[in-house]
Amino acid sequence: MSVYDAGLLSDIGILLLGALSVYIILATGQLSLGNAGFMGIGAYLTSWLTVVAGLPITAALIVAALVSGAIGVAVGFPALRLKGIYLAMATLGFGEMVRSFFQNFSAMGGSEGFHGMHHVSTGYIWTWAAIVLVLIMLIEASPIWLEIRAVRDDETAAGLVGLNPTEIKVGAFGCGAAVAAIAGGLFAHHHVYIEPGNFSFERSIDFVLAVILGGSTVAPGALAGAVILVVLPEYLRFLADWRFAAFGALLIGMLLVRRQGLLDRALLRFAWPRSRA
């Protein structure tokens, strides 16, 4: 595999994790535009743990996921009071707050960034991506997913059958934040250099786009979306400066034709008739 292909594949794996972090939260009916903030927390914390504290990368990723997950739970509680566009704006604010924090946090390089991490391979990135994707697909096939979907459908009705919507929504925020942190840690150790600008609002939008494009009702949709977002611009290179405009037009066309995204349950059931998709 060429270095170029390996780079693309790594980018897909990291974007897949970022998209899955949004997908978990979206599954409960909440839209987060701040997952780049959780990714940034994961990137900086993992880097500090490996470079300064000397922890192995896997242990550092787990610690960063736990810390970011706890922060996600803390963010999830006030987010319970908000819905729709207001929640999206609040999470966007959180993401920008995190970026701004690292911009001014000189102990981790501030605006000059942080380096010194060891490079991780594409295989390592994909091991994490595959583990998280399979884990979410297993949850999708379990009764837990019914509970999550019930909360998304109608919180009051979910409460009336004995579910605790608060726990489920806050838990989803925590899990999403943990997965975003893993994406951040892998990003930092793949590029071996990070700066606050890596975790800006545009990164959060990429995560959401991957989910919306690939399919927001099934976890493999995040994979399809990540592939489209990373690979398609490369195939449009012959358009030179026009390629992003063409990419945008393709996105609009795709959403007009297939609002639910590329993959959905019906398509997966058609492709794998015996699956529970």
Partner 1 sequence: MLRVRDLVVRYGAIQAVRGIGLDIAQGEIVALIGANGAGKTTVARAIAGLLPYRGEIAFEGEVLKPNNAERNLHHGISLVPEGRGILGTMTVQDNLLMGLYVRRDKAQAMKDLAALLERFSILAERRHLLASLMSGGEQQMLAIARALLSKPKLLLLDEPSLGLAPKMTDAVFTMIQDLRREGLTVLLVEQKARQTLKIADRAYLVETGRVITSGPAKEMIDDPVVSETFLGGRATAAHP
Binding residues for partner 1, rule: CB under 8 A, are 143, 146-147, 149-150, 152-154, 156-164
Q: Closest separation between CB of residue 114 and partner 1, Å? A: 44
Which string of DSSP letters, residue by residue, matches 234-260? HHTGGGGGGHHHHHHHHHHHHHHH-TT
Asked if 16 and 220 touch (Cβ cutoff 8 Å), the reply is no
Q: Closest separation between CB of residue 198 and partner 1, Å? A: 36
**Token pair listed for 79:** 């987010």
Residue 23 or 187: the one with the smaller Cβ distance to partner 1 is 23
Residue 153 or 234: the one with the smaller Cβ distance to partner 1 is 153
Q: Closest separation between CB of residue 100 and partner 1, Å? A: 35
Q: Closest separation between CB of residue 79 and partner 1, Å? A: 20
Q: Closest separation between CB of residue 215 and partner 1, Å? A: 14
Alpha-carbon distance of 111 to 197, in angstroms, equals: 8
Residue 115 or 149: the one with the smaller Cβ distance to partner 1 is 149
Residue 54 or 273: the one with the smaller Cβ distance to partner 1 is 273
Residue 103 or 260: the one with the smaller Cβ distance to partner 1 is 260
How many CB atoms lie under 10 A from the CB of residue 258?
Answer: 14
Alpha-carbon distance of 40 to 245, in angstroms, equals: 28
Q: Closest separation between CB of residue 269 and partner 1, Å? A: 12
Strand ranges, E, within the chain? 114-115, 193-194
Determine the 3-state secondary structure of 189 from DSSP.
Answer: helix
Residue 104 or 156: the one with the smaller Cβ distance to partner 1 is 156
Q: Closest separation between CB of residue 102 and partner 1, Å? A: 39
For 50-95, the three-class secondary structure string (H helix, E strand, C coil) is HHCCCCCHHHHHHHHHHHHHHHHHHHHHHHCCCCHHHHHHHHHHHH
Residue 52 or 141: the one with the smaller Cβ distance to partner 1 is 141
Q: Dihedral sign, CA of 12, 13, 15, 19?
A: positive
- Which element (helix H / strand E) includes 133? helix 122-140
